[in-house]
């Protein structure tokens, strides 16, 4: 067994002992799984290239730009010997809070709390520092780098490929984040685990848009997570009704997995649902300015799609689940300076009027539109959101941080 020279206060240790220390350290700083695979060509690189060629990635052109690196991690870090695959549980238990009779929207679990990219990246920096003590050079990624992470995670035995294309872990179910550390150190690899899905196809049947076209086959352009997050323009008309009340992502194929019965609540409190965004009536979001949006979703994954993308999603959800009480806010949104928001607000109004048999003139006759509150100070925005603004403004006045 190769011996590694380490910190001057340490004795030489074997690769096996180094791996044991690494796993212990990873758990100590908050990861729920730490496993290793050899740094080789991605097992499903050929299938990935075919998927790109068939346009399965929709408008995610960045996947094409990094195609070679995604298939061969040696092009990411020349000389890499091992890939350390880390997993972190984000299951919060229960449901995102509500308590309002007005229409509210569903947000994918992973976005209930703080942005996992920032939190996990800081922990990866610790892993990098740990391995540098042993002479390793590393590249670290959390869902952002040119790495086919689920392929390498399956090779490491972190889980197996579910028919939804998501990874499944027998302890964590489907509720976990992945991160990878490519290193020039050679570490003993772990064994893959067998596919334990059997004949189950609950995830395929649960998909609202039919995006899972066959076991292990995904048409991303139909996936609600893609439509509400990755897609920058208009949501296709035929798919809007299928989105329902989802305003950021979709958990349907994850939530139905039987392996989630073993899922435990995460020990990471940063992933807990934010009270200021739990159960907010959809129409109240339409009052948000750019600045207010940034404040409300500061340090949240939702900030990624910006106000234009988020309010587009809100309009689609209102078109699907809203009623006459939402028409005033939507009418104002038709005059939004962002054409994408205005377009989807007009569609939502048409949907609500058709669904409830409302004449286009009813709002004007009753004064519903003219007399509705107009500003962020109005009663249409719950006090808990205003409190969020006030806390952030106080913090901003006491520090030099910008948002």
Q: What is the pTM of this model?
A: 0.86
Mean pLDDT of 387-395: 48
Percent of the chain at pLDDT exceeding 70: 85
Q: Are strands 33-38 and 82-89 parallel, antiparallel or unpaired?
A: antiparallel
Q: pLDDT of 285-298, one tens digit each?
A: 999 999 999 999 99
pLDDT at 386: 59
Question: Taking 70 as the threshold, does the pLDDT of residue 378 lie above it?
Answer: no
Q: How many CA atoms lie within 13 A of 284 on its CB side?
A: 22
Where is pLDDT greater, at 94 or 198? Answer: 198
Q: How is residue 309 written in tokens? A: 């993308």
Task: Grade residue 361 by pLDDT with cuts at 50, 70 and 90.
Answer: low
Question: Taking 50 as the threshold, does the pLDDT of residue 77 lie above it?
Answer: yes
pLDDT at 98: 55
- Distance in angstroms between the alpha carbons of the first and the last residue of the chain: 51
Question: Taking 90 as the threshold, does the pLDDT of residue 385 lie above it?
Answer: no
Where is pLDDT greater, at 136 or 279? Answer: 136
Q: pLDDT of 332-342, one tens digit each?
A: 999 999 999 99
Question: Taking 50 as the threshold, does the pLDDT of residue 365 lie above it?
Answer: no
- Rank 102-106, 143-147, 232-236, 398-402 by mean pLDDT and report only the highest: 232-236
Where is pLDDT greater, at 381 or 30? Answer: 30
Task: Grade residue 387 by pLDDT with cuts at 50, 70 and 90.
Answer: low
pLDDT at 62: 72
DSSP-assigned beta bridge partners for residue 83:
37, 182
Is 124:143 a contact under the CB 8 Å cutoff?
Answer: no
Question: Taking 70 as the threshold, does the pLDDT of residue 395 lie above it?
Answer: no
Lowest average pLDDT, out of 10-19, 256-265, 347-356, goes to 10-19
Question: Taking 70 as the threshold, does the pLDDT of residue 182 lie above it?
Answer: yes
Question: Taking 80 as the threshold, does the pLDDT of residue 207 lie above it?
Answer: yes
Is 163:215 a contact under the CB 8 Å cutoff?
Answer: yes
Residues 6+ apart with CB under 8 A from 310: 247, 248, 285, 293, 297, 302
Task: Grade residue 153 by pLDDT with cuts at 50, 70 and 90.
Answer: very high
Residues 6+ apart with CB under 8 A from 46: none
Task: Grade residue 258 by pLDDT with cuts at 50, 70 and 90.
Answer: very high
Is 141:179 a contact under the CB 8 Å cutoff?
Answer: yes
Task: Grade residue 100 by pLDDT with cuts at 50, 70 and 90.
Answer: low
Task: Grade residue 99 by pLDDT with cuts at 50, 70 and 90.
Answer: low
DSSP-assigned beta bridge partners for residue 181:
84, 140
* CA dihedral sign, ordered 293, 295, 296, 297: positive
Q: How is residue 307 written in tokens? A: 């106000």
Specify the 3-state DSSP secondary structure of 98: coil
Mean pLDDT score across all residues of the chain: 87
Q: Beta strands of 108-233 (E only): which ranges?
A: 138-141, 160-161, 167-168, 176-183, 212-214, 217-218
Lowest average pLDDT, out of 73-77, 230-234, 245-249, goes to 73-77
CA pair distance 226, 59, nearest whole angstrom: 9
Closest CA to 104 of 280, 296, 314: 280
Specify the 3-state DSSP secondary structure of 226: helix
Is 216:201 a contact under the CB 8 Å cutoff?
Answer: no
Closest CA to 107 of 303, 346, 339: 303
Q: Which residues are catalytic?
A: 143
Q: pLDDT of 158-177, one tens digit each?
A: 999 999 999 999 999 999 99
pLDDT at 277: 84
- DSSP letters along 277-321, please? GSS-BHHHHTT--HHHHHHHTTTSGGGGGHHHHHHHHHHHHHHHH
CA pair distance 382, 269, nearest whole angstrom: 24
- Count helices and strands (H / E) in the chain: 17, 12
Mean pLDDT of 244-269: 97
Query: What single DSSP character describes residue 11?
Result: P
- DSSP letters along 237-275, please? TTTHHHHTTEEE---HHHHT-GGGGG----S-GGGSPPG
pLDDT at 44: 79
Query: Domain locations in the chain?
Result: 3-183, 281-403
């Amino acid at each position: 067994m190769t011996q590694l020279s380490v910190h001057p206060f340490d004795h030489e240790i074997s690769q096996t002992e180094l791996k044991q220390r690494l796993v212990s350290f990873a758990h100590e700083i908050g990861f729920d799984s730490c496993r290793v695979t050899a740094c080789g060509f991605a097992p499903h690189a050929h299938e990935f290239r075919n998927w790109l060629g068939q346009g399965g990635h929709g408008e995610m052109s960045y996947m094409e730009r990094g195609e070679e690196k995604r298939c061969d991690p040696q092009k990411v870090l020349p000389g890499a010997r091992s890939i350390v695959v880390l997993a972190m549980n984000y299951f919060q238990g229960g449901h995102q809070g509500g308590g309002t009779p007005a229409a509210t929207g569903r947000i994918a679990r992973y976005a209930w709390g703080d942005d996992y990219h920032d939190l996990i990246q800081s922990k990866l920096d610790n892993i990098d520092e740990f391995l540098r003590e042993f002479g390793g050079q590393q590249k670290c990624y959390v869902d952002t780098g040119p790495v086919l992470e689920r392929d390498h995670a399956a090779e490491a035995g972190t889980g197996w490929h579910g028919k939804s294309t998501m990874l499944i872990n027998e302890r964590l179910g489907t509720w976990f984040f992945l991160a990878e550390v490519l290193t020039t150190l050679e570490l003993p690899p772990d064994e893959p685990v067998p596919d334990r899905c059997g004949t189950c196809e609950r995830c395929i049947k649960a998909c609202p848009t039919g995006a899972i076209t066959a076991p292990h086959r995904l048409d991303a352009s139909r996936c609600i997570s893609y439509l509400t997050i990755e897609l920058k323009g208009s949501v296709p008309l035929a798919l809007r009704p299928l989105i329902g009340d989802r305003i950021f992502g979709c958990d349907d194929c994850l939530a139905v997995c039987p392996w989630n019965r073993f899922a435990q609540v995460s020990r990471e409190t940063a992933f807990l649902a934010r009270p200021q965004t739990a159960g907010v009536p959809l129409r109240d979001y339409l009052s948000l300015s750019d600045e207010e949006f940034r404040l409300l979703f500061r340090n949240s994954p939702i900030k990624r799609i910006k106000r234009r993308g988020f309010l587009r999603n809100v309009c689609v959800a209102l078109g699907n689940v809203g009623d006459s009480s939402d028409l005033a806010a939507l009418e104002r949104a038709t005059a939004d300076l962002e054409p994408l928001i205005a377009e989807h607000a007009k569609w939502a109004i048409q949907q609500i009027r058709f669904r409830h048999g409302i004449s286009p003139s009813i709002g004007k006759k009753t004064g519903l539109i003219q007399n509705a509150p107009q500003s962020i100070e109005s009663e249409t925005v719950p006090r808990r959101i205003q409190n969020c603004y006030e806390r952030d403004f106080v913090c901003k006045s006491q520090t030099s941080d910008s948002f």
